[in-house]
Amino acid sequence: MPKYYVNMMIEFAGEIEADSKEDAEQKAWTSWGDTMDNDITYDGVYSIDVEEVEEDEEEDEDEDED
């Protein structure tokens, strides 16, 4: 069965009370989660990129030997 590398870009958004932009950014690192109890919450999926992973020839040979 082929393998795929999946890269998902997920957005979290919300409002934070802070003294400055830098303070807001610092607080954002610990203020996110998937419940409404958090200041920063899930906002949506930005993108999903999928690439097929090419198998090495050595892996194919090992599988054939089993």
What pLDDT was estimated at residue 30?
87
46's CB contacts (< 8 A; 6+ apart) are 9, 10, 11
48 within 8 A of 2, measured Cβ to Cβ: no
Q: Per residue in 4-52, pLDDT tens?
A: 999 999 998 999 999 999 999 999 988 887 777 788 888 899 999 999 9
29 DSSP assignment: T
What pLDDT was estimated at residue 23?
95
What pLDDT was estimated at residue 3?
94
CA distance 2 to 47: 22
Read off the pLDDT of each residue in 44-64 and give the average, rounded to a whole number.
79
**pLDDT band at 64, cuts 50/70/90?**
low
